[in-house]
A and B are shown apart, each in its own frame.
Chain A
Amino acid sequence: MTLAAATELAAVTDLSGVTELAAATNEQLAKYSDVLIHSAMVVYTLAFFAYIAEWLFGSRSKVGRTAAALTAGAGKKADAPAITVKQAGGTAVLERPQVVVRSATGARDVPDGPGAHGGDEKGDLYGRIAVSLTVLAFLVEFAGVLARALSVQRAPWGNMYEFNITFSTVAVGVYLTLLALKKNVRWLGLILITTVLLDLGLAVTVLYTESDQLVPALHSYWLYIHVSTAIFCGAVFYVGAMTTVLYLFKDSYENKLMSGGTPGRFATSVLERLPAAASLDKFSYRVNAAVFPLWTFTIIAGAIWAGDAWGRYWGWDPKEVWSFITWVAYAGYLHARATAGWKGRKAAYIALIAFGCWLFNYYGVNIFVSGKHSYADV
């Protein structure tokens, strides 16, 4: 057979379909982008210290709701429905009905912690500062990503450097959106910003790539759909995974309290301020379940693109395999939650494994495995 060689060459020479992206690299914009990314790192660092301050000041206040709910004869109380009826002092005020919520039988009735500031006013102030700084850093980083995209006149995910900066921007964006939706997630800030700083540090040192043209096979609008949803799903899965880890810690903490143990002071100080394990578990489930259909769509969009570009929609290329593994792992997680004996911690471990698969699909496959997707410049 003689054409294999020709076909391979075609992959290098490549036959690009889309033409409008005449892309002369604009070096000036690329430089702006670098400056903006570095500036974003500085602001993130400030935000990082503000989150630290929030936690530090929060530790001064004594919150012990979890402990209070789980110890001191709480066993009975947990089963009792907390029926509350408003009392209107003396006069016959016509009261509207109040809906009373109780946990399902057998579930622990643990109140959520107040958040990292622990109810401390100064802590709360620092927390607000931290969020404001995060918003600022997000805007700067976003501008940096945008400048990068404009400098190459294409989507900013042609190599691992660009993927990293885009990914961290989207992850912070997801966090800020959750905050804007009035979800109780500020406690996630410190971990998120720490990892964002690590991610950016890695990006600007090890992974940095001069702004450059894309391999032309990547010129397809399916790329925009496929990769942008993939990045978004990754960011949301990441939020889910962080919450899952916290759930595991908090759950151990509650278990220890239930069995009459005394957790360490540091663990108490940190974990008392987080939401109840059940809330964390529910939150991570919602987050993971909400993006699972989108992740399914991402894989299908990729298959459609592969069908148009490579002549087969599914060929067990390493990237495809790992997307599939990630998908099956998350499906396993959703199943585990519906399977008696697998709820709670076991399901949480599966969720973490599933996110591990997602991470490996990105870093591991790009670095260790070669396949058609190996456009990434390491």
Chain B
Amino acid sequence: MSTTDTKGTEKESADDLGAAGSQLSTAPREEAPNLPSLGVIGWARWFWRQLTSMRVALLLLFLLSLGAIPGSLIPQSGTDATKVADFMDRHETLGPIYEKLGLFHVYSSVWFSAIYILLFVSLIGCIVPRTWQFVGQLRGRPPGAPKRLTRLPAYTTWRTGAEPEQVREVALRVLKQHRFRAHVAGDAVAAEKGYLREAGNLLFHIALIVMLVAFAWGQLYKSEGNKLVVEGDGFANTITQYDDFKSGSLFSIDHDLEPFSFDLKEFKGTYEVSGPNKGTPRTYEADVTYSVGADGEEKRTTIKVNEPLKIGDSKVYLVSHGYAPVVTVRDGKGKVVYKGAVPLLPQDSNVTSSGAIKVLDGYRNADGEREQLGFNAFFVPSFAGEGQGTMLSQFPALLNPRLALSAYHGDVGVDSGIAQNVYQLDTRKLEKFEDSDGELLTERLAPGETMQLPDGAGSITFEKEIKEWAGFQVTEQPGSGWALLGAIAAIGGLAGSLFIQRRRVWVRAVRGADGVTVVEMAGLGRSESAKVPEELGRLAAVVYDAAPTAPDAPPERTQDQDPDPSDAQPTEEPSADTSTPDPQVVSAEGADKQ
């Protein structure tokens, strides 16, 4: 197993350090993919080992990112169905192939799901044994010192007059003070620190699972609907009230819609009134009263663009707005046959709007026959002024509103059973009202003005009161709290995993051949890092203070405590190259001070 993060030659280093370097991480050991010779169970075990190996995890990560690419380049039916239809029209051969491969809904396609499900099975298969292993490591003690401490990446030694037991005692105390887990094992103190790295890593991987489950849950149970509400009107959260509604595959209409209702009291929009950004929206606010449950208490609130109203798992977003001029339609006898606010759809950023007014029943024409009326409506909140001709708004607020109407009568076509767009007039079965020139009767009205229909057919009045409407999107995505929790845990775990170094320190103190105590200290990190020798230097300095150099140590001799002299080849201190100090030697920080 890879214990020291070296390049290649794992075996050699394992021999070198024995158990000392083992289990600095719980990463699964890499095995050569030997094909099993046993039957079904052998194969299953083999397959499971492969699936939970780092190599396959890497491969699956790679596949996941590759698999995500087509969805960003090919139109997706989930986000833009018209583009998909367009693509199908333009590519006669490619289209059906893409369709078969699920390329129009990559992120819910079988193959993409297969990749991430495999990845997460692999992840779970990886986490469970690693967690056990880690718990085992926490219960056990840091492994004892390897025979040759000189072999370790950071090493220091000195001779001291203190007794070996004394040195070990000091070392144990110092290491514990530095929050190492330490114990005396034989002639040396063994210590380890940085377990949070492993804990962080496990937390991160577990958090990934939490996030995925929360996300999948949200997708399956989500719902999303839109509703246009005119000022003064209300909305209750039942499916029939929505203008349109989408939901995840496990969503159940009977159980899953949060019971609440709200009324739109007032919509307020303010706009930049001057400067180069004249007309740019500044605020949009919808004042609403809402109540939760069948007979909940009524509360007031304001919904803004980036501040949805949150009720349970549901959020109510303000997504659009427009004007709803109030009109009154009378028949030839002056009887009101229609009165109401007609929401119109904005066409540009200054809210030039269009729509249709339909009078479906209650109207009788001059001959007393039942008929329907239809009007094409254009509305501008800020008319440029007489002579400026075009019905294009100059500003989004109600500065100088005008309503232009053209009038039809006959069969609006609502009864035919085909769903109709309420904002468009189907003129196929309608007859024009004509003006004196025989053209379509069209008039532009200021608030309070009335347009007379010819031959005593009645009239339509553009009332002074002009309402606004707001478009709301109601979404419900359960599990988002869990997703957020998982995300926060993931970042925390990741930081622990990447910033904390797990390392071991050993302090050996033995009586040398000449009766003087020899202290050796060595450090080993999971990966090579400058921090390990630096920390060892600091620890050595503290231990050194308690066990200073033996005064009778022969100073000229290079010290060589290695049991196997051929192993350590002391070299002279580099002297020639002064401009660039030898990077291999780090001074024991603090040891030089005092």
Contacts and interface: CB of A to CB of B under 8 A. Distances in A.
Interface of A: 1-7, 9-10, 12-19, 22-25, 80-107, 111-112, 114, 119, 213, 216-217, 219-220, 278, 282, 289-290, 292-293, 296-297, 300, 303-304, 307-309, 311-318, 321-322, 324-325, 328-329, 331-332, 334-336, 338-344, 357, 365, 368-369, 371
Contact of A2 (B272, B421, B579): B421
A329 B471 contact: no
Given A7-B319, A102-B153, A371-B79, 4 more contacts: A6-B322, A81-B151, A81-B569, A84-B584
Q: Which of B58, B78, B154 has the most chain A CB within a 10 Å cutoff?
A: B58
Interface string B1-28: 0101111111011001000000001010
Interface of B: 2, 4-10, 12-13, 16, 25, 27, 30, 54-55, 57-58, 61-62, 64-65, 68-69, 71-73, 76, 78-79, 106-107, 150-158, 215, 224, 226, 228, 243-244, 270, 272, 275-277, 280-284, 304-308, 315, 317-322, 345-349, 351, 396, 421-423, 471, 473, 475, 477, 480, 483-484, 487, 490-491, 494-495, 498-499, 521, 528, 533, 536-537, 540-541, 544, 548-549, 551-553, 555-556, 558-560, 567-574, 579-580, 582-588, 591-592
A282 B528 contact: yes
Contacts of B521: 97
Contacts of A12: 349
B345 A9 contact: yes
Main secondary structure of the interface of A (DSSP, over half): loop
Nearest to A113: B580
B57 A335 contact: yes
B555 A105 contact: no
Contact of A83 (B6, B150, B423): B150
Contacts of B64: 328
Given A9-B347, A98-B587, A311-B475, A316 B107 contact: yes
Given A3-B244, A6-B471, A106-B12, A22 B573 contact: no
Contacts of B318: 15
A341 B491 CA distance: 28
A106 B7 contact: yes
A82 B62 contact: no
Nearest to B227: A3
A100 B585 CA distance: 5
A173 B351 CA distance: 45
Contacts of B587: 98-99
Contact of A94 (B4, B62, B551): B551
22 contacts: A13-B396, A15-B305, A16-B305, A17-B307, A24-B275, A83-B570, A91-B555, A101-B154, A104-B153, A105-B16, A106-B7, A106-B12, A282-B528, A308-B308, A311-B315, A311-B317, A312-B224, A313-B483, A328-B65, A336-B58, A340-B54, A342-B58
A94 B498 contact: no
Contact of A321 (B71, B306, B319, B570): B71
Given A24-B275, A104-B153, A97 B491 contact: no
Given A2-B421, A329-B65, A338-B25, A18 B54 contact: no
A311 B583 contact: no
Nearest to A303: B487
B483 to A, nearest CB: 7
A92 B553 contact: yes
4 nearest A-B pairs in the assembled complex, by CB-CB distance: A10-B320, A106-B9, A96-B591, A17-B306
Contacts of B559: 85
A5 B583 CA distance: 67
Nearest to B556: A87
